[in-house]
Chains A and B, each alone.
Chain A
Amino acid sequence: MGTTTSPTNVEDALEALASGARVINGGTDIMVPINDGRDNVESWLNLRKVKSLHHIEKSGEGLRIGAGVTFATIETELADVAPALAQAASTVGSRQIRNVATIGGNVASASPAGDSLLPLLVYDAQVELTSLRGTRSIALNEFFVGPKRTVREFDELLTAITINDLRGSQHFAKVGTRNAMVISICSICARLDHERGTARVSAGSVAPTPVLISSAEKALLSPQGSAEFSRLVVEASSPISDHRATAEYRRHALGILAERVHRKLWQETR
């Protein structure tokens, strides 16, 4: 018989997790294959009542975002401090999806198309994993190992995303078949911090995981570098053809997005 555990604190959640229950909070991703009969759940670990997972804490130049924070909250509350993340959040599904879909779910699901993953990569975010054995923190860049695969162990709960530094101009862009409700065909995020001379760029839906593209950072730091930047971003991508788009279209669209993002960031910094 199926059981459902609805703990109110992380400690109780970890006990249920270690016994093999399936984690659910928003449910917007996990329920689709279940409705389709392609997945089967015996018991649920419902995180909706674990209040401590639903907080955003600001600290210095950084943030600690609880895994249960929804995209609706991020979209409104982080628009000023983390604009690229807020932009990405606002493109996730519909209003009713964003009302419940969480950032922790997006990260743990590790889709190559996960919208929030790109800004988190350019923020050099860390993933906090908690188990009965303790807590560890791992760079998001090292968290993904393949499509929908991460280094998270089965008894570890993704409890928070931490970011040390949000400074710099930043922009997120994605291409899809509609202006709303789309899984990205390709996406890009870039951050340019003039004062410190640092740049980061990430891309989605163009590799087995969302990727940081360090080879294009130097071109992002050059105001005249948009064509070079675009070329390097495309060169670093390895898209596939699938039911959403061909690899050729993805490379083409990614190049255009890269050029636009470069121009936009330099316009903002002038």
Chain B
Amino acid sequence: MSIVRLTLDGKSVELDTSANSSLLRAMRDAGHTRAQGACEQGECGSCLVRIDGIVQNSCLVPAAICDDATVETVASLINQDLADAFVKHGAVQCGFCTPGFVIAAEAALASATELTHESVRERLAGNICRCTGYHAIIEAVLEVSQLRRSSTR
């Protein structure tokens, strides 16, 4: 085991980890449970985090290579307008996939390109939800996209 020191949502934390442990497992073993774990093979997106500015699956990153990294979870990355839209559209049911969807959606919303129904689907293709059926999530993201564009005009 070795100790990895990183910044997690603005706080310095130490994770006790082995070479084989993903960042996801190391975080959750230490009680930091904002990233969810499900498939652990990069298919479901429930473990999304941003590491040094890049959105990625925390299940596919060894914790050992994250020394000195800046890691952000949904707690750092969600904006109120998206939270409101998720509630308004019923884009949350059991909530398990929500942190991952929010991170993928915020990354899509931050991109320069104008979002369409199709591009939102494409941007969220790596996140799996087993209860809402995606429609409500896509509607929520599209609404925020329009809101943010009209407010910056």
Interface residues of A (CB under 8 A from B): 1-4, 6, 24, 26-28, 31-32, 34-36, 40-44, 46, 48, 93-97, 99-100, 178-181
Contact = CB atoms under 8 A, between A and B. Distances in A.
Given A27-B62, A34-B20, A94-B127, 16 more contacts: A2-B2, A2-B18, A2-B20, A4-B2, A4-B67, A24-B65, A31-B61, A34-B62, A35-B22, A36-B40, A36-B41, A40-B20, A41-B19, A42-B19, A44-B65, A95-B122
A1 to B, nearest CB: 6
A24 B88 CA distance: 42
A53 B113 CA distance: 28
A94 B64 contact: no
Contacts of B48: 96
A31 B42 CA distance: 9
A180 B42 CA distance: 13
Given A95-B123, A180-B125, A28 B60 contact: yes
Most buried by A among B59, B62, B107, B123: B62
B60 A6 contact: no
Given A94-B125, A95-B55, A31 B62 contact: yes
Nearest to A97: B42
B20 A99 contact: no
A44 B40 CA distance: 19
Contact of A95 (B1, B18, B67, B104): B104
Nearest to A22: B19
A28 B125 CA distance: 16
A54 to B, nearest CB: 12
Given A27-B61, A94-B126, A4 B45 contact: no
A96 B46 CA distance: 11
B64 A32 contact: no
A96 B19 contact: no
Contacts of A99: 54-56
Contacts of A42: 19
Nearest to B54: A99
A96 B67 contact: no
A60 to B, nearest CB: 31
Nearest to B100: A96
Contact of A4 (B19, B25, B57, B126): B19
Contacts, number: 102
A4 B65 contact: yes
Contacts of A46: 64-65
A46 B51 CA distance: 15
Nearest to A40: B20
A124 to B, nearest CB: 31
A43 B19 contact: yes
Nearest to B25: A35
B2 A32 contact: no
A24 B122 CA distance: 27
B43 interface: yes
Given A4-B64, A6-B65, A32 B122 contact: no
A96 B62 contact: no
A198 B55 CA distance: 41
A44 B62 contact: yes
A82 B60 CA distance: 28
28 contacts: A2-B20, A2-B64, A4-B65, A24-B62, A26-B60, A28-B42, A31-B22, A31-B59, A31-B60, A32-B41, A32-B60, A34-B62, A35-B22, A35-B41, A35-B59, A36-B41, A42-B19, A43-B19, A46-B65, A48-B65, A94-B42, A96-B104, A96-B126, A97-B57, A99-B55, A100-B60, A179-B125, A181-B125
Contacts of A27: 60-62, 65
A27 B65 CA distance: 10
Nearest to A72: B54
Contact of B126 (A2, A36, A95): A95
